[in-house]
Structure 1
Amino acid sequence: SAFAELAADPKLAGAVTVMVDDHAQLELIDASRAGGREEIRVCLELDTSLRMLGGRVRIGALRSPLRSPAQLAELARSVARRPGFRLVGLMAYEGHVAGVGDALAGRPLRSRAIRLMQSAARKELAVRRAEVVRAVRAVAPDLEFVNGGGTGSVQHTAAETAVTEIAAGSGLYVPRLFDNYTSFTGRPAALFAQPVVRRPGVGVVTVLGGGYPASGAAGADRSPVPYLPEGLRYDAQEGAGEVQTPLLGSPADDLLIGDKVWFRHAKAGELCERFDALDLIEGDRITASVPTYRGEGQTFL
């Protein structure tokens, strides 16, 4: 598989850390390795989900099956016993806290419920994450990192002494899903532009493409939104399309063929999946252009 081949690629020795949560993954990687290759760096993943009502209710991403300190320690021992493998880290990302907005416009009751859930999740996870880290460090004292948190939980996760690093990169772009946080306020920092290619009638322009949905449960919140000029909206019958995207509103009458309409994406990662470079702007000047991993010719997923 691509997972095993990437982990065993000698050109990437020392540069790649593979995340595992199952003995079968170790077997798969081992079977792909050739003799004499560099050691494989391994990170274990913890299931951070919140369980309630005796486990009948589960809130959180369906990621790792490893939940208890004993389970993580058992897999850590398996890594330690396997020649050519070294346990270097622990991933414990609480997406249901860090990646879920708690201030949904027009939905006060749901927002309140999300805040109550996240408060309970933070308290439970802080205790369990510390216990897991102690259990894993008993097997691998030289653990290099314990990763947790995200944009929506930085201030809470940073208070946990068991966590050594927090990945909060998406928030730097401030995509539209980050408009719904009480703990985080930012200014949109990443936009993409589509040219006007048709003017079908009064109050309508059509731009080229733009149908770039974000991952997650399908819904209106997963689509990019027209941002500039202000006042444009999607046509309810077409939405954002692969080939064309009609936009309605009085600002359309001021747009000419070739003019640009600027959009905000729902997420940050998908924006970089679509384009090969990001132009960095200061004031009214492009000061640099940096490649995304797509622009560097990489395809990981």
Structure 2
Amino acid sequence: MTLLRTRLDAATKHLDPPVAVVDLAAFDHNAADLVRRAAGRPIRVASKSVRCRYLLERALRTPGFTGVLSYALPEALWLTRAWADTDLADTDILVAYPTVDHAALRELAADEHARRTVSIVIDSGAHLDLVDAALGADHPPIRVCLELDVSWRPLFGDRKVHVGTHRSPVFTSEQARELAKAVLVRPGFDLVGVMGYEGQIAGLGDDPVGYPLLGLLRRWMQRRSARELVRRRGEVVRAVTAVRQLEFVNGGGTGSIEVTRADPSVTEIAAGSGLIGPTLFDNYRSFTPQPAVLYAVPVVRRPGPGVATLLGGGYLASGPANGARLPRPYLPEGLKLLATEGAGEVQTPVSGAAADTLRVGDRVWLRHAKAGELAERFAEYHVIEGDRVARAVPTYRGEGHSFG
């Protein structure tokens, strides 16, 4: 770790912090590890967890990665335009969250190439109605993907006990079949896929640091949820394919690759956070991504023994408001946030034995809790190869875009 800090400091010494970097060796290692874990299943890159075209493109050009799981239709259209004259021109892009953006839908309908490569997710007839309202009658075919609720309802499907994310209302094979039929009888729509994000498995670490009993409980839940899901998702896919042959069935996330690849109904796996290695992925037993994206902020005060104060750096992650969403001091080792202040917009005090080794002007390297949200804070990432900055690449923000 001391060598890593020395390398990062030396590579970025000409840059004033705050500065964000990509350790390219770590990124490539993580990409290879995702492919290994997927064991032959194609990986669709979750762009929400990357938000940097250079890194998306690097992943897509890695054998084993195919397609993008986008998080907004304007983003998908932008990527389609950006890649129009490249080897990525025919990249398949699935917009994983329903869109109500009328202007983007009109742009999609007007672009023949985008209509061939971009699919939008639906989970009810209301989404079809909205597309019709935006585009009018007789609009050209729009590719749609049916989203399945893959949460766990242990009490015989009773939605009063719901373990997982609250997304689609489509839970059963009967509901999926009826929606598929509704799509088929509506002119202007082409049903091409089924997707489902098992957040209760992919998004919950099964070995939370410092909470062994919670880990046992989560592993118990995840085993049972996975068994139920393999059965139910298989029933859904059979029901839908009886109505319409599908191009893909998408499932999973970085945290559930081993579980998802065991489901014979799934044809591809979504993953993105595993490329970056944020702190939330320190809590899994089956894999350990390397921290590939880090940021440094400077020491600006030494208020007393054992404490150093950093300028800003309080980049909090979305989700439940708890300590797991705070950034974590990474280098030098032996630093922690103060419980009384946490990570702040203007200052972030850190304590620990390493604090007394820091001087005003030194930098502390931190890791974000989530993978893609750091890109909203920086206009560019500095790509480190070996002991030097090889190039600076823009994030989405640096290219003038924020699709959240």
Go from structure 1 to structure 2 and tell me whether the alpha carbon gap of 1:15 and 1:244 turns closer, same or farther (over 3 Å shift): farther
1:7 aligns with 2:87: no
1:124 aligns with 2:228: yes
Instruction: Answer whether contact 2:318 2:325 (CA < 8 A) is retained.
Output: yes
1:76 equivalent in structure 2: 180
Q: Offset of 1:38 from its aligned partner?
A: 4.3
Bigger shift: residues 286-295 or 41-50: 286-295
**Which one of 112, 115, 119 corresponds to residue 216 of structure 2?**
112
Cα deviation digits, residues 207-236 of structure 1 (max 9, x gap): 222122112211111101000111122122
Separation in 2, partners of 1:115, 1:24: 36
TM-score (norm 2): 0.70
Structure 1 segment 149-228 matched on structure 2, within 5 A: 149-228=252-331
Q: Offset of 1:21 from its aligned partner?
A: 0.8
Q: Secondary structure at the match of 1:240?
A: coil
1:88 equivalent in structure 2: 192
Q: Offset of 1:37 from its aligned partner?
A: 5.5
Q: Offset of 1:154 from its aligned partner?
A: 1.0
Q: Secondary structure at the match of 1:139?
A: coil
Q: Secondary structure at the match of 1:268?
A: coil
Instruction: Answer whether contact 1:8 1:29 (CA < 8 A) is retained.
Output: no
Match for 1:32: what amino acid? A
Q: Secondary structure at the match of 1:160?
A: coil
Gaps of 5+ in 2: 1-98
Bigger shift: residues 15-24 or 220-229: 15-24
TM-align CA RMSD: 2.0
Once the two structures are aligned, what percentage of the paired residues are identical? 56
Q: Offset of 1:98 from its aligned partner?
A: 1.2
Instruction: Answer whether contact 1:279 1:288 (CA < 8 A) is retained.
Output: yes
1:51 equivalent in structure 2: 153
Bigger shift: residues 253-262 or 210-219: 253-262
Instruction: Answer whether contact 2:138 2:187 (CA < 8 A) is retained.
Output: no
**Which one of 61, 66, 77 corresponds to residue 165 of structure 2?**
61
Q: Which has the higher contact order (CA 8 A, sep 6+)?
A: 2
TM-score (norm 1): 0.92
Cα deviation digits, residues 164-189 of structure 1 (max 9, x gap): 11012101211111111111123222
Separation in 2, partners of 1:53, 1:2: 33
Q: Offset of 1:28 from its aligned partner?
A: 1.2
2:135 equivalent in structure 1: 33
Instruction: Answer whether contact 1:7 1:40 (CA < 8 A) is retained.
Output: no
Query: After the TM superposition, which segments of 4 or more aligned residues of structure 1 sit over 4 Å from their partners?
Result: 34-38
Q: Secondary structure at the match of 2:289?
A: coil
Q: Secondary structure at the match of 1:147?
A: strand
2:352 equivalent in structure 1: 249
Bigger shift: residues 218-227 or 145-154: 145-154
1:135 equivalent in structure 2: 239
Match for 1:47: what amino acid? D
Q: Secondary structure at the match of 1:77?
A: helix
Instruction: Answer whether contact 1:5 1:29 (CA < 8 A) is retained.
Output: no
Q: Secondary structure at the match of 2:310?
A: strand
1:99 equivalent in structure 2: 203
**Which one of 364, 367, 373 corresponds to residue 264 of structure 1?**
367
The alignment of Structure 1 onto Structure 2 pairs a total of residues equal to 300
Instruction: Answer whether contact 1:150 1:168 (CA < 8 A) is retained.
Output: yes
Gaps of 5+ in 1: none
1:287 equivalent in structure 2: 390
Q: Offset of 1:36 from its aligned partner?
A: 7.0
